[in-house]
Amino acid sequence: MNRGLDPEEQRRLLSELFESTSDVLWMFSADWEEAIFINDAYEDVWGRPAAALEREPADFLEGVHPDDRGTVRAAMERISGGESAEMEFRVNPGEGYGRWVWTRGRPVYDDGEVVRVAGVSRDVTDRKRYEEELRRQNERLDEFASIVSHDLRSPLSVAQGRLRLAREECDCEAHLGPPGRRRRPDGIHRRRHAHPRQTGACRRPGPTWRSSNRSGSGPTPTASGTRWRTCSATR
């Protein structure tokens, strides 16, 4: 800071700086019983009049979401006890506590004693909304991945089940073994060899011949028996 400025000019410049920022700048007594300073950004972010802090310094807690007030009170005690604190919480009841603020507070010492507490609160609503949207997108992606994974597993499970059933009902070595080790079932050989059209043979009854006792006579047929002979299968 320029040391050539008089104290009045310095206060004026600081006031301009405090009022031009969108961050909430605040200062309270060490016991939070007096609001020493708070800039105009407070009313926009908190949604409550700054004048109410003059009557009741703890009025700013009324602008904090009920579920977050315990966290804020605990941080206030730490700051009054000489610790710095940082937190995020929801404010502005007029907007349904839709504003998120990041707050950092610290103690101010005088001769080793905490005499004041000061800090800054920044509106981080846009960041929180972005983070929430990312979380929802990740949830949707996880759900989609789960559905796709399930749909891929189901056909494989069905195919594996059918394969196990086929191995139980069939001759695995004959039908399902590696190509180099497959063999034809014995039943197929038997049927092929027994089928007359496959072998080219047929069976037809013919006369049974017997030799005659008469000299010079040839064999004569009898009806006492039947013999089988080979004939063409395409006849």
The third-level CATH classification (topology) of the domain covering 13-123 is Beta-Lactamase (3.30.450)
Per-domain boundaries in the chain = 13-123, 130-172
Distance CA 85, CA 79 (A): 6
For 50-88, how does the pLDDT look when each residue is reduced to its tens digit (9 = 90+)?
999 999 999 999 999 999 999 999 999 999 999 999 999
For 167-219, how does the pLDDT look when each residue is reduced to its tens digit (9 = 90+)?
766 655 555 455 555 455 554 444 554 455 544 444 555 555 454 455 555 55
Comparison of pLDDT for 105 and 176, the residue scoring more: 105
Q: Which residues of 200-232 are buried (b: 16+ CB within 10 A; e: fewer)?
A: eeeeeeeeeeeeeeeeeeeeeeeeeeeeeeeee
Lay out the sheet containing 113-123: strands in order across: 35-38, 24-29, 113-123, 99-110, 85-91
User: For the residues 14-23, what does the mean pLDDT come to?
Assistant: 81
Residue in this structure with the two tokens 């014995």, named with its chain if needed: 186
Distances, alpha carbon 98 to alpha carbons 46, 95, 181, 221, in Å: 10, 5, 73, 119
The mean of the pLDDT values for the chain is 76
Residue 120 has pLDDT above 90, yes or no: yes
For 127-163, how does the pLDDT look when each residue is reduced to its tens digit (9 = 90+)?
999 988 888 887 777 776 776 665 566 666 666 666 7
Position 228 confidence tier, pLDDT thresholds 50, 70, 90: very low
pLDDT at 50: 93
Q: Which residues of 68-95 are buried (b: 16+ CB within 10 A; e: fewer)?
A: beeebeebbeebbeeeebebebbbbbee
pLDDT at 224: 47
